[in-house]
């Protein structure tokens, strides 16, 4: 079924939904929610504990966020933060080919659909792999550092290993589903465009990704935002399928 001049542009609608979400305009704020400023203190404490337990590495302090960096206003209960301040960005577990077992789940770049965050196909390791991989766990956000303009981002559906072109990222006391939508948004991508290097196969470094700024809502609101986006995206997929 073909559409007429009023073509249904699902991708433009997705981007609009994400834009509203990043600005705090997709779901109402709840004055009873613990503000993000308090959450941020909890994140700092949890991060310090993870460093003490040697689960993540201690890094140099991140530069303060200037007013010039902030692209728009966010609700008073939110905070602007650098990505690395609230995630495990930069802490990736590498596994050698000889340690990868037959039957393990495997995710390659080609397995993820651009823009939508859908897993096109599920793979398993069937023979000796030829290169190092990263270990991921179910619920991690997998972000493609190679050709990031394709917006290949995925919530890991299981435990397994993935190409080192995908970065497994966990939120620290932060909702991974919310982070997933942040990483799909124009807000994130517009910053990445300034940090990509390479002509034929442009990429962005984990260091630069960690320095990008993202909005941090209260934890309860993060869950509400992620649920609303998932609901609206599912509706868009349904309409797309009906128009095909």
Per CATH, the number for 10-224 is: 3.90.220.20
Residues comprising the chain, all counted: 244
pTM, entire model: 0.92
The structural domains of the chain, with segments of one domain joined by +, span 10-224
Please classify residue 184 by burial: count the beta carbons closer than 10 Å to its beta carbon, then call 0-12 exposed, 13-18 middle and 19+ buried.
buried
Q: What pLDDT, on the 0 to 100 scale, is given for residue 166?
A: 97
Q: What pLDDT, on the 0 to 100 scale, is given for residue 113?
A: 92
CA distance 217 to 207: 23
Give 243's DSSP letter.
H
Which alpha helices (DSSP H) does 1-151 contain, by range? 10-22, 36-52
CA distance 9 to 236: 10
Unique residue bearing structure tokens 């609901």? 231
- 214's enclosing H/E stretch is strand 213-216
Q: What pLDDT, on the 0 to 100 scale, is given for residue 199?
A: 80
| Tens digit of each residue's pLDDT, the chain (244 residues) | 344 434 678 889 999 999 999 999 999 999 999 999 999 999 999 999 999 999 999 888 999 999 999 999 999 999 999 999 999 999 999 999 999 999 999 999 999 999 888 899 889 999 888 899 999 999 999 999 999 999 999 999 999 999 999 999 999 999 999 999 999 999 999 999 999 988 888 999 999 999 999 999 999 999 999 999 999 999 998 998 888 7
Sheet bearing 160-162, strands edge to edge: 94-95, 133-136, 160-162, 105-107, 123-124
């Amino acid at each position: 079924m073909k559409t007429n001049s009023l073509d249904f542009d699902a991708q433009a609608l997705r981007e609009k939904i994400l834009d509203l979400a990043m600005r705090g305009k997709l779901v109402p704020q709840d004055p009873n929610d613990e503000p993000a400023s308090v959450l941020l203190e909890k994140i700092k404490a949890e991060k310090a504990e993870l460093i003490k337990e040697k689960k993540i590495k201690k890094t140099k302090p991140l530069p303060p966020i200037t007013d010039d960096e902030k692209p728009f206003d966010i609700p008073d209960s939110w905070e602007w933060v650098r990505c690395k301040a609230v995630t495990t960005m930069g802490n990736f577990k590498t596994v050698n080919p000889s340690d990868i077992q037959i039957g393990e789940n495997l995710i390659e770049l080609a397995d993820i659909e651009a823009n939508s965050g859908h897993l096109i196909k599920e793979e398993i390791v069937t023979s000796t792999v030829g290169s190092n991989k990263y270990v991921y766990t179910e619920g991690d956000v997998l972000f493609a550092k190679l050709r990031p303009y394709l917006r290949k981002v995925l919530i890991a559906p299981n435990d397994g290993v993935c190409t080192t072109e995908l970065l497994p990222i966990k939120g620290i006391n932060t909702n991974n589903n919310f982070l997933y939508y942040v990483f799909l948004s124009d807000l994130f991508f517009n910053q990445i465009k300034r940090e990509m290097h390479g002509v034929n196969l442009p990429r962005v470094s984990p260091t630069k990704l960690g320095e990008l700024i993202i909005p941090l809502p209260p934890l309860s609101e993060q869950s509400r935002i992620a649920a609303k986006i998932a609901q609206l995206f599912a509706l868009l997929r349904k309409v797309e399928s009906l128009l095909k």
